[in-house]
C-alpha cells in the first residue's frame, strides 16, 4: 500500500541504498513519486533495471477516481477515490480567491460516532497510510489541473486517531523536494482527542488546529459527541489553553449550529467564558442536513454570532461550498455504499 510513498526522504534513500543504489537516487525517486507518476517508466533519469526492481518489490498503486462531482454553483469538486484494497474515501477541492484548498480524509470511515456526521455511520474500516493521504493531494491536483496551495485535514476520519501516520504525511507534503506545502497552509481538525492535542502542542508545528467544539457544556456535548464521555469538554478546554500557551497559535473552534440543541444564548456565553485568556476564533457552520440524522439546522445563526461577538470573540459563519453536490464529507461515500448494498441485495 503505497509503501515507498509513505517513506521520508532519508528512509527512501536508505531503502534504495540497501538495494545497492547511490545516495542521490533517494531524492530522484522521492521527487518522481511526489509528482504522481502512475508507472515507474515515467522516471526518465532512473536506470531501467532499477525501475524493474522497484516495480517488482513495490507495485505502484494510485487512487482511482470512481466518482467526481463538480458544483455548478462554485466549481467545488468532490472526488470519491477507490483505493487499492477496494475501500473508498473522499476529497474535496474548494476554490477560494486566495487559492485552492483540498480537504482530505485521514481514515476509511470513523469511529468517533458524532451524532450529526455522515462519515461515522458505518464505523471505521481502517487507517489511511501517509502515502494515501499524500495521494489525495497529488491526484486532486493532477486530475483537476488546479494547483493546490492549502490543505485541510477535515475529511472522513479523525486525524488524531491516526496521529503517527498524519505526522508523517505532514512531513512528506511539507518537503521542499515534494509538494512543498508550508505548515501555515495546513489545518488539522479534531473532535477533541485530548492526548493528541498535548502531543501536537509539544511539536509546535505552524499548522492551524481546529477543534470541533459543537457544545461548551458536558451534557449537550456528550449527547451529540460520544468522544466527550472519554475526554470531557472541561479537559478539552484545558488542553486548548495549554496548546495556545505552548505554541502561541490561535485555535479555530468549529461549531455546527443544531436547532434547539446547541444554539442557546447561554451556550454562547459559556463558550466566551471558557475561552477567556485565549484568542479563540469560532467558526459557525450551518448544519448540513444528513438524511440519517434527526438533528435539524438552527435558525439562530445570526443571533448566536452576535452573542459571541458581544463578548469580544471573533465569530464567522462558514461559507458553504458545493451545496449542490453532497460536498459535506462522508455523504458521497455513504451514497456509494448504499447503492452498492442495494445492488448486492437485488442480485
Ligand atoms: N474528525 C475531525 C475532522 C472531520 S469532520 C473532527 O471531528 O473535527 C470536519 C468537520 O465537519 C467537523 O467539525 C465536524 O464536526 C463537522 N461536521 C460533521 N458533520 C457535519 C454536519 N452534518 N454539518 C455540519 N458540520 C458537520
Nearest CA to ligand 1 atom 3: 154
Q: What is the pLDDT of residues 101-115, one digit of tens each?
A: 999 999 999 999 999
Cβ pair 181, 174 in contact under 8 A: yes
Collapse the DSSP code of 244 into the 3-class scheme (helix H, G, I; strand E, B; otherwise coil) and give the result.
helix
Largest CA distance in the chain: 68
Known catalytic residues? 90, 329
Helix, strand, or coil (residue 314)? strand
Task: Tell me the CA–centroid distance for residue 228 and ligand 1, in Å.
Answer: 15
106 CA distance to ligand 1 centroid (A)?
A: 13
pLDDT reported for residue 291: 73
Residue 335's Cβ-count burial label (10 Å; 0-12, 13-18, 19+) is middle
Residue 158 near ligand 1, beta carbon < 6 Å: yes
What CA–CA distance (Å, rounded) separates 181 from 177?
10
Residues of the chain with pLDDT under 50: 345-347
Distance 278 CA to ligand 1 centre (A): 23
pLDDT value for 346? 44
Is there an atom of ligand 1 within 6 Å of 100 CB? no
Q: What is the pLDDT of residues 163-208, one digit of tens each?
A: 999 999 999 999 999 999 999 999 999 999 999 999 999 999 999 9
Q: What pLDDT was estimated at residue 11? A: 97
Find out whether the beta carbon of 144 lies less than 6 Å from any atom of ligand 1.
no
Q: Whose CA is nearest to atom 19 of ligand 1?
A: 117
Any atom of ligand 1 within 6 Å of the Cβ of 189: yes
Percent pLDDT > 90 in the chain is: 85
Report d(CA 188, CA 209) in Å as an integer.
5
For residue 288, the CA-to-ligand 1 centroid distance in Å is: 9
Q: Of the residues 151, 285, 319, which should be mutated to test ligand 1's pocket, given the most ligand atoms within 8 Å of the CB?
A: 285
Distance 53 CA to ligand 1 centre (A): 43
Q: For the chain, where are the alpha helices, taking DSSP H only?
A: 9-18, 24-35, 48-57, 130-144, 163-174, 194-203, 218-224, 227-230, 233-247, 265-274, 301-310, 331-345
pTM here is: 0.94
Of the residues 214, 256, 318, 321, which should be mutated to test ligand 1's pocket, given the most ligand atoms within 8 Å of the CB? 256
Amino acid at each position: 500500500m503505497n509503501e515507498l510513498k509513505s517513506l521520508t526522504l532519508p528512509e527512501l534513500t536508505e531503502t534504495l541504498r540497501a538495494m545497492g543504489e547511490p545516495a542521490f537516487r533517494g531524492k530522484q525517486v522521492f521527487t518522481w513519486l511526489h509528482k504522481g507518476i502512475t508507472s515507474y517508466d515515467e522516471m526518465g533519469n532512473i536506470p531501467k533495471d532499477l525501475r524493474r526492481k522497484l516495480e517488482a518489490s513495490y507495485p505502484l498503486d494510485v487512487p482511482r477516481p470512481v466518482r467526481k462531482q463538480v458544483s455548478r454553483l462554485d466549481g467545488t469538486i468532490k472526488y470519491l477515490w477507490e483505493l487499492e484494497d477496494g475501500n473508498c474515501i473522499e476529497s474535496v477541492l474548494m476554490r477560494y480567491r486566495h487559492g485552492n484548498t483540498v480537504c482530505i480524509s485521514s481514515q476509511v470511515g470513523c469511529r468517533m460516532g458524532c451524532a450529526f456526521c455522515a462519515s461515522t455511520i458505518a464505523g471505521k474500516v481502517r487507517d489511511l497510510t501517509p502515502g494515501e493521504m499524500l495521494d489525495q493531494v497529488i491526484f486532486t491536483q493532477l486530475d483537476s489541473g488546479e494547483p493546490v496551495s492549502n490543505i485541510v485535514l477535515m475529511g472522513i476520519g479523525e486525524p488524531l486517531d491516526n496521529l503517527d501516520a498524519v505526522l508523517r504525511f505532514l512531513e512528506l507534503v511539507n518537503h521542499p523536494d515534494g509538494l512543498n506545502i508550508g505548515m501555515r497552509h495546513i489545518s488539522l481538525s479534531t473532535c477533541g482527542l485530548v492526548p493528541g492535542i498535548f502531543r501536537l502542542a509539544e511539536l509546535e508545528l505552524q499548522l492551524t488546529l481546529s477543534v470541533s467544539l459543537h457544545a461548551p457544556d458536558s451534557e449537550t456535548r456528550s449527547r451529540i459527541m460520544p468522544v466527550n464521555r472519554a475526554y470531557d469538554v472541561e479537559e478539552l478546554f484545558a488542553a486548548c489553553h495549554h496548546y495556545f500557551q505552548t505554541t502561541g497559535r490561535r485555535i479555530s473552534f468549529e461549531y455546527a449550529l443544531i436547532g434547539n440543541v446547541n444554539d442557546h444564548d447561554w451556550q454562547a456565553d459559556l463558550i466566551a467564558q471558557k475561552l477567556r485568556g485565549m484568542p479563540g476564533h469560532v467558526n459557525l457552520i450551518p448544519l448540513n442536513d444528513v438524511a440519517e440524522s434527526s438533528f435539524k439546522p438552527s435558525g439562530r445563526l445570526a443571533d448566536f454570532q452576535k452573542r459571541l461577538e458581544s463578548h469580544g470573540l471573533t465569530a464567522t459563519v462558514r461559507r458553504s461550498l458545493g451545496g449542490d453536490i453532497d460536498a459535506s464529507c462522508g455523504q458521497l461515500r455513504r451514497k456509494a455504499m448504499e447503492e452498492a448494498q442495494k445492488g448486492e441485495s437485488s442480485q
